[in-house]
Amino acid sequence: MAAPAVERRTIDVIPDEERHGSPRNQFTLWFGANMQITAIVDGALAVVFGADALWAIPALLIGNVAGGTVMALHSAQGPRLGLPQMISSRAQFGVFGAVLPLVLVVLMYLGFAATGSVLAGQAVGQILHVPATFGILVFGVLTAVVAVTGYRLIHAMGRVATVVGVIGLGYLGVALLLKYDISQFVGRKPFDVVTFLLAVSLGAGWQLTFGPYVADYSRYLPRDTPERATFWATFLGSVIGSQWAMTLGALIAAVSGKAFVADQVGFVGELAGPAVVALLIYIVIVVGKLTVNCLNAYGGFMCVLTTVTAFTGRSRISPVARALYIVTFTAVSVAIAVLASADFLDNFKNFVLVLLTVFTPWSAVNLIDYYLISRERVDVPALYDPDGRYGRWNAAALTCYVVGVVVQIPFMAQKLYTGPVTELLGGADISWIVGLSVTAALYYPWARRTSRPPAEMIYPA
């Protein structure tokens, strides 16, 4: 098989003659991207912070299904638009206005890339018998190489990660059942609504944070690809993969006590058993993390470029500039990983929940506009023109977005701040539900009165 060519496209529309692939590629990409150590940690958090695994696992499933539905609706936009996800936000927020959510998305990618690099660096360190810091640097180089090569290689990594993840996480599940009597660690605590809702939020937050870049990886599909096929392939791959990993994480946290909290990668290696098998599990961790970290670097580059070109008016850059963007982004994430690897579990939980606060309003605006207001009709050339149909700023979308974020504050349960309504609810965090609902209810009637969607889809000449 020939080595994949380095990708040339960035935020420009993918021409029909360059479209390829099928929806099943979305399944393997998102299944493989979720069958990895950080998803295991995310599932473990629900138990670490108080839930019984018996209740945490179905709560995580509810969150994954709810968030996965929203995420897959974003993915279904890719084949029709042929664009990265966040460039299409200009249709709602305006060419300049879209910079607000874009900056937050870039911070999200940096955060996930950095936290993922911490765990992957530990695994690389175990494989090479080097300090974890050096392992982070090695992992950063691997991430940059794959992300610079681009779309085809990223999808190939997804297929590899799917096979490796099934074997590796399947083995860990069997090892867990053989080593521990699970029944002795599950069902020991009564149902608690606060920790149940925390687990729902962790599952939903995990899925919703894929939304701002999921269409980046479906935009090369042929334009006539059925939206339903793209939706279901993405939804099933992401939800099944994440729920598998999170269920394993919840059970590991239940049986391990403080051992998993102290050293997540080390505990998984010990669970694997003999040194040779543990080595293979560390390789599984690296492959899974490499897949999702490439999504973060690639998507982060797209968002940085979308932000810059809002003011330059360009839609293409040279291959060298493209590579420099990606390498710089990866270098920054590696630096963060090296400097901020302490207190990983607590920081990661708060990071995910904060992201949930700022991205549910964006999803509400984007999906309502695309499916209910514009009805899948977008003036693509106008996305690059501040003086075009979508203008520089869209007051309706920006106002609703800000209100959607602010309205969640009384319902938040964060390390640094707990809202008054949350205290009345006993600590249950339902801020993301409030943000999604209020934003949708406010934006839909406002956009119906003010938006000017084209009569039909308009592509570049």
Per-residue pLDDT reduced to its tens digit, 10-59 = 888 999 999 999 999 999 999 999 999 889 988 998 998 889 999 999 99
Sign (positive/negative) of CA torsion 106, 112, 118, 121?
A: negative
Strand, coil or helix: 458? strand
d(CA 91, CA 36): 34
Query: Coil, strand or helix: which one is 236?
Result: helix
Residue 188 lies in a domain: yes
pLDDT at site 339: 80
What is the tally of structural domains in the chain? Answer: 1
Determine the Cα–Cα distance for residues 145 and 21; give it in Å rounded to an integer.
22
Coil, strand or helix: which one is 454?
A: coil
Residue 161 lies in a domain: yes
Nearest to 358 by CA among 416, 410, 404: 404
Give yes or no for residue 2 having a pLDDT over 60: no
353 within a domain of the structure (yes/no): no
Q: Output the pLDDT for position 430.
A: 81
Residue identified by tokens 């490439």 is 294
At 351-381, the pLDDT tens digits run: 666 776 888 899 999 999 999 999 999 999 9
Rg value, the chain, Cα: 21
b vs e for 108-144, b when ≥16 Cβ sit within 10 Å of the residue's Cβ?
bbbbbbbbbbbbbbbbbbbbeeeebbebbbbbbebbb
Whole-number pLDDT of residue 343: 63
CB 435 within 8 A of CB 361: yes
Residue range 84-133, pLDDT digits in tens: 888 989 999 999 999 988 888 888 888 888 888 888 998 999 999 999 89
Ramachandran category for residue 52: left, alpha or beta (phi over 0 → left; psi -120 to 50 → alpha):
beta
CATH number, domain of 149, equals 1.10.4160.10
Asked whether residue 26 is assigned to any structural domain, the reply reads: yes
Unique residue bearing structure tokens 């349960």:
413
Residue-range definition of the domain harbouring residue 151: 20-343
The DSSP secondary-structure symbol of 96 reads T
Residue type, 70: V
Stated pTM of the model: 0.91
pLDDT band at 285 (very low <50, low <70, confident <90, very high): very high
**Per-residue model confidence as pLDDT tens digits over 146-194:** 999 888 889 999 999 999 999 999 999 999 999 999 989 998 889 988 8
Residue 123, C-beta contacts closer than 8 angstroms, at least 6 positions apart: 37, 135, 265, 282, 283, 285, 286, 289
Residue 347 is predicted with a pLDDT of 67
Output the six-digit token pair for 253.
């946290």
Would you state the structure tokens that stand for residue 169, as one six-digit string? 């996480």
In angstroms, what CA-CA distances link 397 with 98, 338, 379, 434? 9, 37, 17, 17
Q: Locate all alpha helices (DSSP H) within 129-150, ordered by sequence.
A: 132-149
User: Is residue 319 predicted with pLDDT exceeding 50?
Assistant: yes
| pLDDT at 345 exceeding the cut of 60 | no
Q: What is the DSSP string of 152-167?
A: HHHHHHHHHHHHHHHH
Q: Is 418 helix (H, G, I), strand (E, B) or coil?
A: strand
Do the domain assignments include residue 292? yes
> Which of 425, 386, 334 is closest to 115 using CA atoms?
334
Residue with tokens 């279901």: 232
Q: Express each pLDDT in 383-434 by its tens digit.
A: 999 999 999 999 999 999 999 999 998 887 776 677 888 777 777 778 888 9
Decide: 221 and 19 in contact? Cβ < 8 Å: yes
Q: What is the mean pLDDT of the chain?
A: 89
Residue 130: its pLDDT value, please? 92
Q: What pLDDT was estimated at residue 44?
A: 92
Residues 284, 286: Cα–Cα separation, whole Å: 5
pLDDT of residue 342: 59
Q: Looking at residue 361, what is its pLDDT?
A: 93
Alpha helices in 35-131 (DSSP H): 37-48, 53-75, 78-81, 90-93, 99-128
Residue 408 within any structural domain of the chain: no
Does residue 9 fall inside a structural domain?
no
d(CA 85, CA 92): 12
**CA 56 – CA 193 distance, rounded (Å):** 11
In a domain, residue 453? The reply is no
Q: What is the pLDDT of residues 238-263, one digit of tens each?
A: 999 999 999 999 999 999 977 887 78
